């Protein structure tokens, strides 16, 4: 190509506290290209992106943008140089409005003063241009649902008029309908000649959207290929270094559906109503539905965060008044929350302290065996860390999620509610987690699985309960089709 590449990173090295995270990584992105960077949790994808965004500074290597050498020490410089970034972690200020968040650091001014009118107008224009005009520019970010917040972040990046937009797992919090929206936005950018650097663990998106793929493994670039020249299986093999079956694991032999372990009858509160739900020992029940349909609200009610105000809950045949998480834990219920940073982890504490937290807080006896189990659980989930002493804030996103799962498994619950357990987890680890979920069922736990990825509920659940607008819209057997689930989820009934 005659044109200079939009981005050329060459020989990038980066260590944190002496531990190398990136080793001599090259990345070249052409104008108008959608370029995927894939790799396992901890491979260094986010670190590479943060170097490009001016958050971290590389130890060695060069960065050229449009043929000009640059070096950034502050994110502002990257923005000025035409690089916009959607970071993996949520990056909105809850107390600021949508408009203020989108323009943060670049507020429009008139005679040196912030021009709020212009800010609101530009935001409205931007949002309607992006096809999300139901988002009010004046709404505070904290009042938005997680996927809406993600959309705002994407809008923020797109509003910067950048030549290169980096997106680090932009769909991790999105349901399928919103993923569609993102697809359209990426296509639009490509048409305008804007390049996109796209990080995702969802292979389907990689193959739908991206022109070329760079694979990172353990901080090194394995290969860069044209998407057309590689199959999903080959890609996974390149990422993980071994072959992985692309299908969901079968139920383990000896898994038996037994007594009802969790029974909700007529449950309801301000967000959900008329919830009748039974999960038996050894059973995996999937909760499907659009964002905001009440899936997370059910999880929170079962676990006592926002308790049911109507109806009854019985665990192992015994009626329980679950008014708070402690009661829920005492009843043998565990919840892997959807928002790991806010609700799942003490970020500045060690992996070990986090994994032991539920045990520490609730177990009367501290059996050595139980504590030993934690190490076993962590390694069974393939946690990549520098040992149990490492603070979880320095783990990659996917590895943080594994610590949350481990912490609950350590409590040996009878009922486990998993709210988006695979968010941000790489393919290899996902498969491990699927196997873990199967083994939980085989051990006689009742599993309630919430996930935005329809294919996961369909592949794993024995029964699928579909929610719509706070109520149960219908129930389907495992292995139902996506169309059937979506029909219930959108409030129609399948013909």
Partner 1 sequence: MSLRRLDTTALIYLALAGVVAIGGIAVAIDGGNLFSTANLVDMFTRTSLTGFLALGMTLVILCRSLDLSVGYTAALASMVAATTMDGDPNRIVLGALAALLVAGLVGAANGAIVSFLGVNPFIATLGVGLIIKGYLDTEYKGPAGLVPTAFQQFGYSRIAFVPVSTLVMLALAAAGIWFLRSTRTGHHMYAVGGNIDVARMSGVRTKSTLMTAHILCGMFAGVAGLLLAARFGTGSATEAYSNLYELDAIAAVVLGGTLLLGGRGGIAGTVAGVLILAVLDTVFNVMQINPFAKDVLRGAIIITAVAIYARRQLSRTARRPRFAAAGTAADTGRP
Ligand X SMILES: Nc1ncnc2c1ncn2[C@@H]1O[C@H](COP(=O)(O)OP(=O)(O)OP(=O)(O)O)[C@@H](O)[C@H]1O
Is residue 138 near partner 1 by the rule CB under 8 A? no
Q: Which of residues 24-43 bind ligand X (CB under 6 A)?
A: 39, 41-43
Determine contact, residues 424/172, Cβ cutoff 8 Å.
yes
**∠ CA 132-138-142 to the nearest 5 degrees?**
85
Question: Residue 142 or 204: which CB sits closer to partner 1?
Answer: 142
Instruction: Compute how many other C-beta atoms are within 10 angstroms of the C-beta atom of residue 254.
Output: 8
> Nearest distance from residue 271's CB to partner 1, in Å?
5
Determine contact, residues 288/454, Cβ cutoff 8 Å.
yes
Largest Cα–Cα distance of the chain, in whole Å? Answer: 74
**Options 21, 37, 51, 87; binder of partner 1; rule CB under 8 A:** 87
Q: Which of residues 141-160 bind partner 1 (CB under 8 A)?
A: 142, 156
Question: Residue 40 or 283: which CB sits closer to ligand X?
Answer: 40
Is residue 105 near partner 1 by the rule CB under 8 A? yes
Q: Which of residues 417-476 bind ligand X (CB under 6 A)?
A: 424, 426
- Binding string to ligand X for residues 334 to 373, with x set by CB under 6 A, is what? ----------------------------------------
> What are the start-end ranges of the H helices in 331-477?
351-355, 357-362, 368-380, 397-409, 427-442, 454-460
**Options 5, 82, 147, 470; binder of partner 1; rule CB under 8 A:** 470
Question: Residue 55 or 363: which CB sits closer to partner 1?
Answer: 55
Is residue 46 near Mg ion by the rule CB under 5 A? yes
d(CA 145, CA 162): 27
| Cα distances (Å, whole numbers) of residue 331 to 128, 265, 321, 336, 446 | 48, 17, 10, 16, 13
In this chain, which stretch among 85-93, 322-330, 412-420, 486-494 interacts with Mg ion, using CB under 5 A?
85-93
Question: Residue 221 or 468: which CB sits closer to ligand X?
Answer: 221
Question: Residue 46 or 354: which CB sits closer to Mg ion?
Answer: 46
Per DSSP, the residues of 82-122 read TEEEE-SS----TTSBHHHHHTTT---EETTEE-HHHHHHH
Determine contact, residues 144/98, Cβ cutoff 8 Å.
yes
- Binding string to ligand X for residues 204 to 243, with x set by CB under 6 A, is what? ----------------------------------------
Instruction: Compute how many other C-beta atoms are within 10 angstroms of the C-beta atom of residue 333.
Output: 28
> Nearest distance from residue 243's CB to ligand X, in Å?
20
- Binding string to ligand X for residues 40 to 79, with x set by CB under 6 A, is what? -xxxxxxx--------------------------------
Residue given tokens 């190490």 in the structure block:
375
Burial class (CB in 10 A: 0-12, 13-18, 19+), 260: middle
Is residue 161 near partner 1 by the rule CB under 8 A? no
16 binds, among Mg ion, ligand X, partner 1, none (CB under 5 to 8 A by kind): ligand X
> Nearest distance from residue 107's CB to partner 1, in Å?
6
Q: Write out the two tokens for 407.
A: 């912490």
d(CA 416, CA 447): 5
Is residue 109 near partner 1 by the rule CB under 8 A? yes
Question: Residue 18 or 105: which CB sits closer to partner 1?
Answer: 105
Please give the torsion angle defined by the CA atoms of residues 166, 172, 173 and 176, in that order, rounded to the nearest 10 degrees: 100
Q: Which of residues 373-392 bind ligand X (CB under 6 A)?
A: 384
Q: Point out which residues bind ligand X (CB under 6 A).
A: 16-17, 21, 39, 41-47, 88, 384, 394-399, 424, 426
């Amino acid at each position: 190509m005659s044109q200079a590449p939009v981005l050329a990173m060459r020989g990038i090295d980066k260590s944190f506290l002496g531990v190398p995270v990136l080793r001599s990584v090259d990345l070249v992105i052409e104008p108008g290209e959608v370029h995927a960077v894939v790799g396992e949790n901890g491979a260094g994808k986010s670190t590479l992106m943060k170097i490009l965004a001016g958050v971290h500074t590389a130890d060695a290597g060069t960065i050229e943008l449009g043929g000009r050498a640059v070096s950034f020490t502050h994110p502002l410089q990257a923005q000025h140089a035409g690089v916009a970034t959607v970071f993996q972690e949520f990056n909105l200020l809850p107390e600021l409005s949508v408009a203020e968040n989108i323009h943060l650091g670049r507020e429009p001014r008139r005679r040196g003063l912030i021009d709020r009118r212009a800010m609101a107008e530009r935001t409205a224009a931007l949002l309607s241009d992006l096809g999300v005009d139901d988002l009010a520019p004046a709404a505070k970010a904290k009042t938005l649902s997680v996927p809406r917040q993600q959309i705002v972040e994407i809008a923020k990046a797109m509003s910067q008029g950048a030549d290169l937009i980096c997106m680090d797992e932009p769909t991790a919090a999105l349901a399928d309908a919103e993923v569609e929206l993102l697809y359209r936005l990426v296509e639009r950018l490509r048409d305008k000649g804007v390049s996109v650097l796209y990080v995702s663990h969802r292979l389907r998106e990689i193959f739908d959207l991206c022109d070329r793929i760079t694979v990172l493994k353990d901080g090194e670039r394995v290969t860069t290929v044209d998407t057309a020249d590689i199959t999903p299986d080959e890609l996974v093999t390149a990422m993980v270094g071994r072959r992985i079956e692309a299908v969901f694991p079968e139920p383990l032999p000896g898994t038996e559906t037994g007594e009802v372990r969790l029974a909700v009858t007529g449950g309801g509160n301000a967000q959900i109503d008329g919830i009748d739900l039974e999960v038996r020992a050894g059973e995996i029940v999937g909760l499907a539905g659009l964002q905001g349909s009440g899936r997370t609200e059910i999880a929170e009610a079962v676990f006592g965060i926002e308790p049911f105000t109507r109806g009854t809950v019985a665990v192992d045949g015994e009626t329980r008044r679950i008014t708070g998480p402690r009661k829920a834990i005492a009843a043998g219920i565990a919840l892997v929350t959807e928002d790991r940073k806010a609700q799942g982890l003490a970020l500045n504490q060690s992996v070990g302290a986090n994994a032991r937290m539920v045990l520490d807080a609730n177990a009367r006896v501290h059996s050595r065996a139980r504590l030993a189990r934690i190490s076993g659980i962590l390694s069974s989930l393939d946690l990549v860390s520098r040992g149990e002493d490492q603070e979880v804030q320095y783990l990659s996103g996917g590895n943080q999620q594994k610590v949350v799962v481990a912490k609950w498994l350590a409590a040996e619950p009878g009922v486990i509610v998993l709210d988006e357990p695979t968010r941000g987890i790489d393919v290899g680890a996902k498969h491990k987690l699927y196997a873990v979920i199967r083994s939980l069922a085989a051990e006689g736990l009742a599993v309630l699985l919430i996930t935005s990825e329809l294919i996961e509920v369909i592949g794993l659940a024995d029964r699928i309960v579909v929610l719509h607008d706070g109520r149960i819209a219908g129930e389907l057997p495992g292995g139902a089709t996506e169309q059937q689930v979506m029909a219930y989820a959108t409030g129609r009934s399948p013909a």
